[in-house]
Structure formats: structure tokens, C-alpha cells
Chains A and B, each alone.
Chain A
């Protein structure tokens, strides 16, 4: 799986948009970009994922560059409860709807992430 690079920490003012960058310059054509976040002492929570098109859901937006070497997670109106560590992960998605039983393929590799602090 491709490796990702994220800044170790970022600050954001409450109510403003939080833009979290991620570099994945070695990403291959069949690797998806996933974002998770982890609030202190809890399990990580899925946020969003995408392949090459921009994606939006009720939590966030994901902007992927045309060359797919980087992406940005956008929290449009950050709140204090968004303070967490945000993980950017790329992984191969198994094709054809078959189960991926092969080795570690498809397993998510979590780096250190970006610690986002939302301040009043």
C-alpha cells in the first residue's frame, strides 16, 4: 500500500473551515484514499473515502488532485468536538466484489495522523 504524509498538528478556529492535507505521491491506480479520525481514548471513526472524484458527505468533503498524489479533507464548519487525530490512508480496493483473503491486501495502515485542535 502507498505511504501517506501528513503534518503532525494543525489549529483551526471554531466555526471556520479546517483543511487537512495529505500527500500520497506513490499512490497507484487502484488505491482508494480513506480518512478516519480518532478522538482521545476512543476507537477511530470513518469519515470519508474516494478514488479520484471529489466526495462529500454529512461529515466532510474530500478533494483529490487530478494526479491523485495528494488530497485534502475539509471540515466546513469546525466545532470543538472535531478536535481529534485525523488519519489519511490509502489502500487497494479488491475488485469484482470478491473477498480479499490475500495477505495484508486491503488492510488499512494507520500512520501518526494530524492532530487537529479546534480553538474557541
Chain B
């Protein structure tokens, strides 16, 4: 089945630790996105990538880093500089062009601080 896979489902971070959230898609989509969601809130854009080897900061990029070495993969690293990392993280993808550019989302990763 085609889709977006996020792993792990749950992740725990210790103080001062970097953690990496995985996002893989087999939809052949060009664009990929990372969103953060806090309880009772909407989604806020962290980083996005329209093409391999290129990515742009979203609204809340501080304390996060990404890479886009392959079209199907867009991992997110939550660094120790992110002081409030506890949140639900969502990865999404879509085709870069076309009239029906709906976003496809993964099932999310819940990150908590120990």
C-alpha cells in the first residue's frame, strides 16, 4: 500500500539529548513537511522540502534540523536546543504541482521528555 510511515509511534527524550524522527513515503511525492501539534492546538509548520537536497524553515524551525538526501525520506532531528519538545509530530507529503495537491499525513510521533 502507498502511504507515509512515521516511526516510532512514541519517543522519549532525556535532557540534552538529540532525537531523530523518521518519515518515509512511497507515494513518489516531491514535497514533504513536518508539523508540530500541541494539545488542543492546530498544526504549526517546522520545516518543509520541495525537492531533494533542498529544504526551507517553517514558522517554528528553531531547535530542529532536517535533511532530504532521498526523495522518499525526510527525517526530523529534535536537538537539545529545543527546550519544549513535548508534542505530537506529523509528517506530510504532496506532489509539488497539480490541481489536487492534497496533503497526505503520517500517523504521527508523540515525543515526550523524561
Co-assembled chains A and B: yes
- Using CB atoms, name the residue of chain B closest to A85: B42
Contact A43 B97 (CB under 8 A): no
Query: Which residues of B (29-64) have their CB < 8 Å from a CB of A?
Result: 30, 33, 35, 40-45, 48, 50-51, 56, 58-59
Q: How many residues of A contact B (CB 8 A)?
A: 27
Contact B45 A104 (CB under 8 A): yes
Contact B104 A46 (CB under 8 A): yes
Chain B positions within 8 Å of A, measured between CB atoms, are 4, 30, 33, 35, 40-45, 48, 50-51, 56, 58-59, 88, 90, 92, 96-108, 110
Known: A43-B108, A108-B103. A113 touches B97 (CB 8 A): no
Contact B33 A107 (CB under 8 A): yes
Residues of A within 8 A of B44 (CB): 110
Contact A100 B41 (CB under 8 A): no
Residues of A within 8 A of B90 (CB): 43-44
Contact A103 B30 (CB under 8 A): no
Contact A42 B45 (CB under 8 A): no
Contact B107 A99 (CB under 8 A): no
- Using CB atoms, name the residue of chain A closest to B90: A43
A-B contact pairs, 27 of them (CB 8 A): A34-B102, A41-B88, A41-B110, A42-B107, A42-B108, A43-B4, A43-B92, A44-B92, A46-B104, A49-B100, A49-B102, A87-B42, A93-B101, A97-B97, A97-B98, A99-B97, A101-B50, A101-B51, A104-B45, A104-B59, A106-B101, A107-B48, A107-B58, A108-B103, A110-B35, A110-B42, A112-B42
The answer to whether A54 has its CB under 8 Å from any CB of chain B is no
Give bound CA distance, A34 to B94, whole Å. Answer: 14
Q: Chain A nearest CB: distance from B64 CB in Å?
A: 16
